[in-house]
Chains A and B, each alone.
Chain A
Amino acid sequence: MNILTCFKIVSDLDLMSESDWVVEDHFRINTSFVKNMINPYDESALEITLLYKEQAEKLGSAVNLSALTIGSKQLDAYLKTLYALRFDKAVRIENQHDLRFSPDAISTVIANYVKVIKKPEVIILGRQSGVGDNAKTPLLVAEHLGWPCISQAVKIEPASEGLLKVSSMADDGLVIETIRPPCVLSIGNAPNSYLRIPTLKDKVNYGKKEIEVLEIENYLNQAVLEQPSEGHNITGLKPINHKRQGVVIEGSTPAEKAQNLYHNYLQERLKQL
């Protein structure tokens, strides 16, 4: 089976301090000062992919893994790590355009890449990533390809005859389906949140394979790239104040304070629990 896992590298936004959230031209925010990381949902997706391969190979079926990311050369370090973890192919589609809020453009690129290489039967992606927070890419990849999509997937296991057993979260329970590929799997809050770490020896032995670098223009037309038309455009951006207020509830006696707390703040909230 051929699996393509797509991932995105994002800035660790928790490291930004309050004064770093400055909105620049074109609603850009400079996050280049903070460390990068694999988008957490994508990190789960990559680990789940590796777990799947391990299990499938134990059952004697061959699995070929590719990893794809879109962005600049800086991301190659992550792709090398994936080689060290025995991904068979690591691909980067070079891009310098601002596609933060363009999940349709991103998913078109992925779908076109898949159409060209005609290979993967299964595409695995994290459900959302923390800059655009669009949460649409996996769904739109499925739409572009006309494939079914299982969202909120949390576990993928091999089943007989090239089928996959996929567990996914529903709003009121867990769905366990046996699926015939092709399909898109969108990874939700999976129990595997960390990607395994390759040893230094594996980095030396496997991490030096050449990364396939492709041009985004071959997968998306220039006009769309210049101005991704998604049917939506960003027109405003401002920081959200997360500071707690520390409002001191006044009253001359404990009873008065408790009354005040209950009637002005608690009563309504308790109803909603």
Chain B
Amino acid sequence: MKHTIVLNGCSETFLSQAEEVNGFAAAYLKDSRADKTIIFHCTDRHKPFLIANSPTPSTQLIRLPRYQPEIILRTLEQLEASSNTELYLFPGDFAGSELSPRLAYRLGGSSLIAVNKISRTENALTCHKAVYSNYMQAEFKLSERPYCISLAKGSTDPLPIAVENDVEKDVSEIDIANQEWNNTVLSFKGDQESEPEKACAHIVDYEFVKKEAASGLENANYILVAGRGVKMKEKVDKLHTIAGQLGAELGVSRPVAMSAWAPLNKLIGVSGIMAKPQICITAAVSGAAAFYTGIEKSKLIIAINTDRGAPIIRASDLAIVDDYEKVLDELVQIITEAQCKGDTSL
């Protein structure tokens, strides 16, 4: 099989897109031949970075004034009309999931969004994805080529792009933009009304507000939660320090907040914050239903509690039955040492 990767180089998320798709390709496309990576970008400044992090040896750069799906689709449609690529792979972000089905439509292929696993069968691509609001995993057979799929976020581990100094990167470029980005009215090369111009004639005015780095407990990726079992304010203060050392945000359960051992805006649970971190460590939390709802959406829950029978133990992914203070002190030490050695990217 021959596959092509499509990435959005206009976005600051480029590197994570590249690593996400690279990880997926490494897991499921070992026998497939990578044709190229198509990267849309807005400024020449980023070119070396984009080329260096292109997941394939061959890279097609397309410069345009800004990320605009209608222009990108028009460009891809023309560029790939006669290509014999069988599979277009898009990352699982907003851009990837809007481009893949529309490109499939235009190229007469088939598409699927949020795919978490693929395998090749004769004349078809077997794709797996979650359906029924993530309660069921479905298998689909895609039969019309080219297959245009976008990935499910987090379905495979991201894989950094290998640096191969001896391999010459094959780069080709198309430039359809006239000016640097940040202009309201898009401007393209050529005197006549160009194709891209027609594609975005509906836009009268444009403004982009960059996303501020998400902060606070709601958006934290890593949280440490103190429960009733910590018993006093000084211990909560200490956990605050430990959270800082671990690189986590501190949250607390209702009894802790209602004892004013921590401010109410740290409260996790029904009457407070509904957190959705990648990692949630709970310390001396028993796991009452009203609290657990607040951490239910965590990817990984690690419970530390002296009571093996506490409800939180059954509701966690990993549990340590021990004194939370001793365990966390050890953990901080391990992580600090690891940081000194430089073997984590914390």
- The reply to whether B131 and A237 contact each other, CB–CB distance below 8 Å, is yes
- The reply to whether B69 and A149 contact each other, CB–CB distance below 8 Å, is yes
Output the least CB separation between B21 and chain A (Å). Answer: 14
Cα-based distance from A233 to B128 in the complex (angstroms): 11
- The reply to whether A151 and B131 contact each other, CB–CB distance below 8 Å, is no
- The reply to whether B319 and A234 contact each other, CB–CB distance below 8 Å, is no
- The reply to whether A177 and B308 contact each other, CB–CB distance below 8 Å, is no
Proximity string of chain A (130-162) to chain B, C-beta cutoff 8 Å, 1 when within and 0 when not: 111111100110110000110110000001000
- Which residues of B, 135-159, contact A by the 8 Å Cβ criterion? 135-144, 157-158
Q: Does B175 contact A (CB under 8 A)?
A: no
Proximity string of chain A (27-56) to chain B, C-beta cutoff 8 Å, 1 when within and 0 when not: 101000000000000000000000000000
- Which residues of A, 258-273, contact B by the 8 Å Cβ criterion? 258-259, 261-262, 265-273
Q: Does A255 contact B (CB under 8 A)?
A: yes
Comparing A88-96, A193-201, A211-219, A238-246, the segment that makes contact with chain B is A238-246
Output the least CB separation between A27 and chain B (Å). Answer: 7
- The reply to whether B11 and A236 contact each other, CB–CB distance below 8 Å, is no
Output the least CB separation between A8 and chain B (Å). Answer: 13
Q: Does A97 contact B (CB under 8 A)?
A: no
Q: Does A209 contact B (CB under 8 A)?
A: no
- The reply to whether A136 and B111 contact each other, CB–CB distance below 8 Å, is yes
| B interface, size bucket | 35 or more
| A interface, size bucket | 35 or more
Q: Which 3 pairs show the lowest CB-CB distances between chains A and B?
A: A231-B110, A236-B139, A231-B144
Provide the residues of chain B in CB contact with A14, threshold 8 Å.
Answer: 133
- The reply to whether A131 and B126 contact each other, CB–CB distance below 8 Å, is no
Nearest residue, chain A, Cβ from B142: A232
Provide the residues of chain A in CB contact with B176, threshold 8 Å.
Answer: none
Q: Does B271 contact A (CB under 8 A)?
A: no
Q: Which of A132, A159, A240, A254 has the most CB of B within 10 A?
A: A254
Cα-based distance from A133 to B134 in the complex (angstroms): 9
Cα-based distance from A176 to B184 in the complex (angstroms): 11
Cα-based distance from A14 to B111 in the complex (angstroms): 28
Cα-based distance from A102 to B105 in the complex (angstroms): 14
Q: Does B237 contact A (CB under 8 A)?
A: no
- The reply to whether B202 and A180 contact each other, CB–CB distance below 8 Å, is yes
Known A-B contacts: A179-B203, A188-B94. Give 12 more (CB < 8 A): A143-B106, A148-B200, A149-B98, A172-B11, A232-B110, A235-B126, A239-B136, A254-B330, A255-B326, A258-B320, A269-B278, A271-B345
Q: Given B302, B314, B329, which contacts A261 in the complex, CB threshold below 8 Å?
A: B302
Q: Does B322 contact A (CB under 8 A)?
A: yes
Provide the residues of chain A in CB contact with B322, threshold 8 Å.
Answer: 254, 257
Q: Which of A16, A231, A247, A267 has the most CB of B within 10 A?
A: A231
Output the least CB separation between A48 and chain B (Å). Answer: 18
Nearest residue, chain A, Cβ from B308: A248
Proximity string of chain B (99-121) to chain A, C-beta cutoff 8 Å, 1 when within and 0 when not: 00110111001111110000000
